C-alpha cells in the first residue's frame, strides 16, 4: 500500500465529498502530477500546474453506493450541476459556489468506436463527457492512499487512483490535438514536459510502459503520438516549444528555456521505440 502525505487540502476534501464513489474514479487531469510528486518525491522540480477542477474518469455506468445516488451525494455536499456538452444529453460540471474548499468536478467517460455522442449518462442524474483515448488512462493505474481530517473532525483515508506516468504521457500526446482551445493544448504538452523532466530516475519505467502501450493499442495510435510530437518539437523555436513555454514558469533566459523544452521532447522521442 502506498501512503502519501501532503496532499492539497482542496483536492482531499473534494475527493472526500464523493463518499464511496471515490473508489470508482481515476484522476486524469492536472492533479495527476501533484499525486506523482507525493508518490515519487524528486529534487528536480518543474513547477506543477495546478487546476481549479477535478477531472474524474469512470470506466462504465456506476452502481448506487451507500444507498445514495451520486447526484444526491454531491447535492448534499452543496454541489450544483452546470450543463455543457454539444451532443446527446448535456454534460455536467458540478460546482460548489457556497464552499470555496471544494473544487469543481467533471466526470469523463471513454469514447470508443464511431459514436458521435459526446456525452454518456453514467448514473441517473449524472452525465459525463465522452473523450477519445481515455481508456489508456483507465487501463494503467497506480493507487495510493491519503489520510486527512474533514471539517467535522472525522479522520478518513481515501484511495486515490491516477494513471501511470507512461499512460499519462501517451494519452496527452494523442489527446491534445483533439482540443480546439490552444491554451488547453499548451497545458497538455506541459504535463508531458513536467512528467518527463521531474522523474529522471523513472524514465526507464516510462519507456518500458510506453512500449507495452504501443503493443496493446492500435498501431496507428503510436504512429500518431510520435508524429504529433515530432511535428511540434522539430526545433527550439517550433510551435510545441512555444506552447509549453507559455506554461513554464522559470527565471531562465527565454532562449535557454526554449532549448530545455526542445531537448526534453527530443530525449523522449529518442528514448521510446522508433517503430
pTM over 0.85: yes
Mean pLDDT, rounded, of the chain:
92
Using one digit for the tens of pLDDT, what is the confidence trace for 58-78?
A: 999 999 998 899 999 999 999
What integer pLDDT is reported at residue 45 of this predicted model?
65
Burial of 102 (0-12, 13-18, 19+ CB in 10 A): buried
- Percent of the chain scoring above 70 in pLDDT: 93
Using one digit for the tens of pLDDT, what is the confidence trace for 197-241?
A: 999 999 999 999 999 999 999 999 999 999 999 999 999 999 999
Q: Mean pLDDT throughout 169-196?
A: 95
86 pLDDT higher than 60: no
Burial of 38 (0-12, 13-18, 19+ CB in 10 A): middle
Pairing between β-strand 141-149 and β-strand 126-132 as defined by DSSP bridges: unpaired
Burial of 6 (0-12, 13-18, 19+ CB in 10 A): exposed
What integer pLDDT is reported at residue 121 of this predicted model?
93
**Closest C-alpha to 258, from 214, 193, 205:** 193
First-to-final CA distance of the chain: 36
Phi, psi at residue 124, to the nearest 5°? -50, 120
> 7 versus 44: which is more confidently predicted?
7
Task: State how far the Cα of 56 lies from the Cα of 91, in Å rounded to an integer.
Answer: 13
For the ranges 106-115, 124-133, 148-157, the lowest mean pLDDT is seen at: 106-115
Q: Report angle CA 15, 168, 162 to the nearest 5 degrees.
A: 25
Task: State how far the Cα of 212 lies from the Cα of 214, in Å rounded to an integer.
Answer: 5
Q: With bands split at pLDDT 50, 70 and 90, how would you rate the model's confidence at 152?
A: confident
What integer pLDDT is reported at residue 56 of this predicted model?
98
44 pLDDT higher than 70: no
Task: State how far the Cα of 243 lies from the Cα of 58, in Å rounded to an integer.
Answer: 29
DSSP secondary structure string for all residues of the chain: --EE----HHHHHHHHHTGGGGGG-EE-STTHHHHHHHHS--S--PPP---SEEEEE-SSPPPPBTTB-HHHHHHHTT-EEEEE-SSSSPEEEEE-TT-TTS-EEEEEEEE-TT----EEEEETTEEEEEEETHHHHHHSEEEEEEEEE-TTS-EEEEEEEEE-HHHHHHHHHHHGGG-S-HHHHHHHHHHHHHHHHH-GGGHHHHHHHHHHHHHHS-HHHHHHHHHHHHHHTSSTTSHHHHHHHHH---SS-HHHHHHHHHHHHHHHHHHS---
89 pLDDT higher than 80: no
CB neighbours of residue 201 within 10 Å: 9
46 pLDDT higher than 70: no
Amino acid at each position: 500500500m502506498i501512503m502519501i502525505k501532503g496532499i492539497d487540502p482542496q483536492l482531499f476534501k473534494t475527493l472526500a465529498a464523493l463518499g464511496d464513489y471515490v473508489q470508482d474514479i481515476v484522476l486524469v487531469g492536472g492533479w495527476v502530477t501533484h499525486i506523482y510528486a507525493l508518490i515519487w518525491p524528486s529534487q528536480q522540480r518543474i513547477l506543477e500546474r495546478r487546476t481549479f477542477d477535478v477531472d474524474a474518469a469512470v470506466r462504465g455506468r456506476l452502481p448506487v453506493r451507500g444507498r445514495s445516488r451520486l447526484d444526491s451525494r454531491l447535492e448534499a455536499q452543496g454541489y450544483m450541476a452546470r450543463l455543457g456538452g454539444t451532443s446527446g444529453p448535456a454534460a455536467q460540471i458540478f460546482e460548489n459556489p457556497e464552499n470555496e474548499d471544494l473544487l469543481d468536478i467533471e466526470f469523463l467517460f471513454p469514447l470508443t468506436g464511431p459514436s458521435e455522442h459526446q456525452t454518456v449518462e453514467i448514473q441517473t442524474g449524472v452525465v459525463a463527457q465522452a473523450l477519445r483515448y481515455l481508456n489508456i488512462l483507465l487501463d494503467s493505474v497506480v493507487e495510493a492512499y491519503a489520510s486527512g481530517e474533514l471539517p467535522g473532525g472525522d479522520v478518513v483515508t481515501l484511495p486515490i487512483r491516477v494513471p501511470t506516468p507512461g499512460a499519462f504521457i501517451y494519452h496527452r500526446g494523442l489527446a491534445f490535438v483533439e482540443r480546439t482551445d490552444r491554451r488547453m493544448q499548451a497545458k497538455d504538452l506541459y504535463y508531458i514536459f513536467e512528467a518527463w523532466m521531474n522523474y529522471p530516475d523513472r524514465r526507464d519505467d516510462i519507456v518500458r510502459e510506453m512500449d507495452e502501450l504501443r503493443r496493446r493499442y492500435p498501431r496507428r495510435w503510436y504512429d500518431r503520438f510520435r508524429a504529433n510530437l515530432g511535428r511540434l518539437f522539430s526545433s527550439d523555436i517550433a510551435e510545441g516549444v512555444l506552447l509549453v513555454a507559455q506554461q513554464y514558469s522559470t527565471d531562465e533566459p527565454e532562449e535557454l528555456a526554449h532549448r530545455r523544452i526542445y531537448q526534453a521532447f527530443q530525449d523522449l522521442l529518442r528514448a521510446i521505440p522508433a517503430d
